[in-house]
Amino acid sequence: MFIEEKQLREFIADSGLVSKSDLEKTVKQADDKKESVGSVLVANGKISDDELRKLQAYILGIPFVNLKDQRLNFDVLSLVPEPIARAHNIVAFRKDGDSLEVAMLDTDDLAAIDFIKKKVNLKILPRLTDRESLKSALLQYQKSLKAEFGGIIQKETAALKNVPEGGAGNDLNSADLKKMAEDLPVVRIIDTLLKHAILQNASDIHIEPMEGEMLIRYRIDGILHDSMSLPKNAAPSIVARIKVLANLKLDEKRLPQDGRFKVEMNGEKVSFRVSVLPTFFGEKVVMRLLREGVSGFTLEGLGFHGDSLEKIHAGMKQRTGMILTTGPTGSGKTTTLYTILDILNTPEVNISTIEDPIEYQMPRVNQTQVKPEIGFTFGAGLRTLVRQDPDIIMVGEIRDNETASLAVNAALTGHLVLSTLHTNSAAGAIPRLLDMEVPSFLIVSTVNVIIAQRLVRKLVQNKEKYFLNKGALATLGKSVDLARVRAALIAEKVIPADFQWEKIPFYKPVPSAESKDGYHSRVGIHEVLKVTTSIKELILRNANAGDIEVQARKDGMLTMLEDGIFKCVQGVTTIEEVFRVVSE
């Protein structure tokens, strides 16, 4: 919202929201910092975000709406998908003819307005609202979704045909199971489960057979949540339906199976990677959701900043060598690599990948899926890729000696190679490569940058501020070098140079209607190791991971714990969340 600074200052003075003396001090501070007086007042706690927003609405003549305690029509509310509503703080609350009124915290979010306009083909009328009002509206998504999906599933489960006694469907033949999978109620149940998972932004769906029921769980922001339980007699039909979708063998119940299928919802294509595993009480199904065509990620958006970001950009400018990402499964390694690929993906270069599986489809990138069952492994695929005249190669994972050797040789012969390793730290990638029998002189010749990462949950806007006393700071200082975190915070101008730790606020999650646990979405915490001359000398002497990390820290690397505390000071996450995901 563009408002002339002179006009804003006059309205604030007339509004009586702040005293004359406070306003004079703020005006001087704003002039010194070359910032808006409104943002300085909010930063100093003199007025709230919502008070400033109401004032701006009044100046601009934009209607301000209060949605608290209003029951919204779910058909209108659902015109804006819940993930978009939460990400952009925008909800649809009234439809009149060919016009749709939307309440927003920022009416300058033109991307959100344009997205909704294209989706609903209506004239969009933006209205300003405050955070409490928006939270009240977002809560109605959850109530409506629970009512909608819970009601549908209960109704359709009751309509399922009872499975004959004797092993929960184990005696049924393939034809019987296929007929059950095509039964209308089970089709509706699975469609509803998938739709709900997509709207909740889940990364995985777990369908688990128990002794007397079937449990459905969603993994959201890295944490598993119980969603619902279904009667035991629904299990064979549900598993059979998923097997049909994933083109798996219906009558195979003794061996694990893997498959894949795709759905399209609200114009978004989502692939489901299916794993079926026999357990004591029946077959357990886990489905990983992979959103196709995902782009628009930025390294900054993933949580990279400062010196770490500069090291990655320097590595990306190299024409040869390797960029490695490390961490456990589900730590966002592949997303980081895809983001780097997206930046490097220009008409001047040829990019080829070898993956298992292909998680995101990217335009102008030649992506290949490995098939070990027919002998098409990472090694075999990589041998062929180097004959395809690539400039940049991405190897989904370096798992064995053969793949490691081929990747290093590709990096030596004029290619930029991106790949992942399963190690706990950036420094740990070096001994891992040595274990894979890659000679140390080849490692120092090829590896440019190593990124280690974890994902932490982000706090929602409604959070509780607190301060650490000297005892708590001393305890924290045993695990984290606070002096290094302080230096990074000052260097990036997050805090003033004369700050004291006792006066820096940290935050706790506040459970609310908006979020049951006070968190929403995730962001990365990272350590980025640049292979400098001093580190190369250590590698040639076969130094261990500890010695390499000590030198990397001397060279300026923030560890994951230190980067986590950096983000705690920014108010992005909590100390507890950082220590939950990082093991020392």
Q: Tell me: the pLDDT tens digits for 67-100?
A: 876 778 877 888 888 778 887 889 999 998 889 9
The answer as to whether 345 is a domain residue is yes
The answer as to whether 110 is a domain residue is no
Q: Are residues 278 and 415 part of one domain? A: no
The answer as to whether 178 is a domain residue is yes
How far apart (Å, rounded) are the C-alpha atoms in residues 218 and 206?
Answer: 6
For residue 165, the model assigns a pLDDT of 44
Nearest 5 degrees, angle CA 25-CA 28-CA 30? 105
Q: Cα–Cα distances in Å, from 232 out to 157, 237, 533?
A: 10, 10, 62
The answer as to whether 65 is a domain residue is no
Bridge-partner residues for 421, per DSSP? 326
On the question of pLDDT at 461 being above 90, the answer is no
Nearest 5 degrees, angle CA 359-CA 360-CA 364? 135
The answer as to whether 66 is a domain residue is no
Q: Are residues 257 and 324 part of one domain? A: no
Q: Are residues 337 and 248 part of one domain? A: no
Sole residue written with tokens 């890295």: 222
Q: Are residues 487 and 353 part of one domain? A: yes
The answer as to whether 141 is a domain residue is no
The answer as to whether 246 is a domain residue is yes
On the question of pLDDT at 13 being above 80, the answer is no
The answer as to whether 296 is a domain residue is no
H helix runs in 280-439, sequence order:
306-316, 333-344, 378-385, 401-412, 429-435
Closest CA to 246 of 172, 167, 190, 294: 190
Q: Are residues 326 and 283 part of one domain? A: no
How far apart (Å, rounded) are the C-alpha atoms in residues 158 and 175?
Answer: 23
Question: Could you report the per-residue pLDDT of 522-549, keeping only the tens digit for each?
Answer: 999 999 999 999 999 999 999 999 999 9
For residue 28, the model assigns a pLDDT of 80
For residue 104, the model assigns a pLDDT of 86
Average pLDDT over residues 336-361: 90
Average pLDDT over residues 498-519: 85
8-17, 129-138, 149-158, 458-467, range with the lowest pLDDT? 149-158
* CA-CA-CA-CA dihedral for 130, 132, 134, 140, to nearest 10: -160
CATH of the domain at 367: 3.40.50.300
How far apart (Å, rounded) are the C-alpha atoms in residues 28 and 90?
Answer: 35
Q: Are residues 488 and 437 part of one domain? A: yes
Q: pTM above the 0.85 mark?
A: no
Return phi, psi of residue 525, to 5°.
-115, 140
How far apart (Å, rounded) are the C-alpha atoms in residues 407 and 383?
Answer: 9
β-sheet with 123-128: strand ranges across? 90-96, 99-104, 123-128
Q: Are residues 268 and 187 part of one domain? A: yes
Q: Are residues 169 and 275 part of one domain? A: yes
Looking at 232, 262, 291, which one is the last position of a domain?
Answer: 291
For residue 170, the model assigns a pLDDT of 56
Q: Structural domain tally of the chain? A: 3
Q: Cα–Cα distances in Å, from 320 out to 85, 111, 215, 418, 577?
A: 42, 37, 49, 10, 37
Looking at 237, 259, 291, which one is the last position of a domain?
Answer: 291
Q: Are residues 435 and 360 part of one domain? A: yes
Sole residue written with tokens 């932004």: 201
Q: Are residues 506 and 362 part of one domain? A: yes
Looking at 291, 320, 351, which one is the last position of a domain?
Answer: 291
Domain containing 327: what range? 306-581
Q: Are residues 249 and 196 part of one domain? A: yes
On the question of pLDDT at 401 being above 50, the answer is yes
Q: Are residues 330 and 261 part of one domain? A: no
CATH of the domain at 286: 3.30.450.90
